[in-house]
Amino acid sequence: MAEKKMVESITSRDEDFAKWYTDVVIKAQLCAYSCVRGCMYIHPYGTALWENIRAELDARFKATGHENVMLPLFIPESLLQKEKDHVEGFAPEVAWVTHGGSEELQERMCVRPTSETLFCDYYAGVIHSWRDLPKLYNQWANVVRWEKTTRPFLRTMEFFWQEGHTMHETEQEARDETEGMLNLYAEFAENALAIPVVKGRKTDKEKFAGALATYTIEALMHDGQALQAGTTHYFGDGFARAFDITFNGRDNTLQYPHQTSWGVTTRLIGAIIMTHGDDNGLVLPPAVAPVQVVVLPIAQHKPGVLESAAALKERLGKFCRVKLDDSENSAGWKFAEYEMKGVPLRVEYGPRDIENGVCVVVRRDNREKTIVPIDELEERIPELLQAVHDGIYTKALARREEMTYSAANLDELKTIAKSKPGFIKAMWCGDAACELKLKEEAGITSRCIPFEQEEISTSCVCCGKPAKHMLYWGKAY
């Protein structure tokens, strides 16, 4: 029997996934389209979701010794031009400021698309000795990239992110940082967002402009398209040489530090929507949900109900994020509203519950109802929140496994790419020409060279030459 649809105004995922996504974003009050093309008005609910993502990540960064800094929004053109590969990679997306008031600027400035060059200019003034290293810095900021096609949270001209930029005494320390932060992102995605990810390295064609190596966590959305959920980059000493950043080494010689950068963005909100959402709206991971528990008084017109519900809310507020909806809207309206907003747990509390010393707790992910004694709230509510997390993670992982295929030759790969959305595991010789051919003929891109390698076959899926790596391929946002 089909699951009852509580929110009729949301398009079904199976009917039109793109329309479903837009419906959820707008109707769940995450954001609205602004008067500036490709930019969003992010509502309080969407802002609170990002703030919780930020808080979870920020705590992890600080626990690993990273500190937050704030750098300018504008980058002089001469500074950007110092690293040739980097500026060429971003040139099509840069927004330029040419006037200050009515005066034309002697040197135009770009609105930061990323801050590698600014950090280099900053580091040149604060790194002098090996004793100054490592520098483990992070910035929470907004950036601008002049995108042609935009979609809320997934790809916007202005978006919010964190960008870590670190400098190290040795190559090994920098490489360890690059992979260590990738592992941190993967742990966060799985334990805070309940999103399973594949960890791996990007091909040279797909790596970040100016990087020697780029690493990624790749997630699979409900419609079978991949989403790059976070990246880390190893730059070697290329930027340091371009910006003349040197330090006096332990052997009293002048040396160049080794650099990394890493970041995740507000597209993680899009990832949450498309991984866990359903036809009734959002399904939010408890760790980042703005409201973890909503208390709904039943028959609230009856004596003592609102007072008891308020006391229950105060008690829950000591260990979770809770909201009491004591508005005069009907119970049915409230059920649909918090379904749509993805609140992990709904607590129903009426006269009979008060009399019996219990409350009814309903999980958002599966609508399972549990009768919880009031004197067990502190133990049972955290258990149920964890159960919601485990439930949506397990469901997402099972769906990814069901939508991951293997291809041993080109015909097989093209057939899968045409008829079965999802990840395709296939061997690759390492030649960029084969990578480009697969994009042109099958409409897929390389997602990553996973750390966990398998041998699907011994030859490249494209040209038949001896294979060097197994890759994840797929269509992506």
For CA atoms 61, 95, 477, 364, the dihedral sign is: positive
In sequence order, the β-bridge partners of residue 369 are: 362
Distance CA 228, CA 189 (A): 12
| Domain boundaries defined on the chain | 17-70+126-276, 293-391, 404-474
Say if strands 293-297 and 345-349 run parallel, antiparallel, or are unpaired. Answer: parallel
How far apart CA 188 and CA 327 sit, in angstroms, is 36
Encode burial over 75-93: b for 16+ CB neighbours within 10 A, e otherwise. bbeebbebbeebbebbeeb
Q: Is the pLDDT of residue 24 over 60?
A: yes
**Is residue 355 classed as helix, strand or coil in its secondary structure?**
helix
What CATH superfamily classification does 404-474 receive?
A: C-terminal domain of ProRS (3.30.110.30)
Instruction: Provide the CA 377 distance to its chain's centre, in angstroms.
Output: 32
The per-residue pLDDT for range 222-252, each reduced to its tens digit, is: 999 999 999 999 999 999 999 999 999 999 9
Name the helix (H) or strand (E) containing 105: strand 103-111
- Cα 447 from Cα 404, distance rounded (Å): 13
pLDDT at 4: 54
pLDDT at 5: 53
- pLDDT tens-digit map of 413-434: 999 999 999 999 999 999 999 9
User: Which tens digit of pLDDT belongs to each residue from 187-199?
Assistant: 999 999 999 999 9
Correct CATH for 293-391 of 3.30.1360.120, 3.40.50.12240, 3.40.50.800, 3.30.470.20? 3.40.50.800
Global confidence as pTM: 0.95
Question: Percentage of the chain surpassing pLDDT 70?
Answer: 98
Give residue 2's pLDDT band: very low, low, confident or very high (50, 70, 90): very low
Residue 8: the pLDDT is 60
Q: Mean pLDDT across the chain, nearest whole number?
A: 95
For residue range 249-288, what is the model confidence (pLDDT) as tens digits? 999 999 999 999 999 999 999 999 999 999 999 999 999 9
The fold adopted by the segment(s) 17-70+126-276 is BirA Bifunctional Protein; domain 2 (3.30.930)
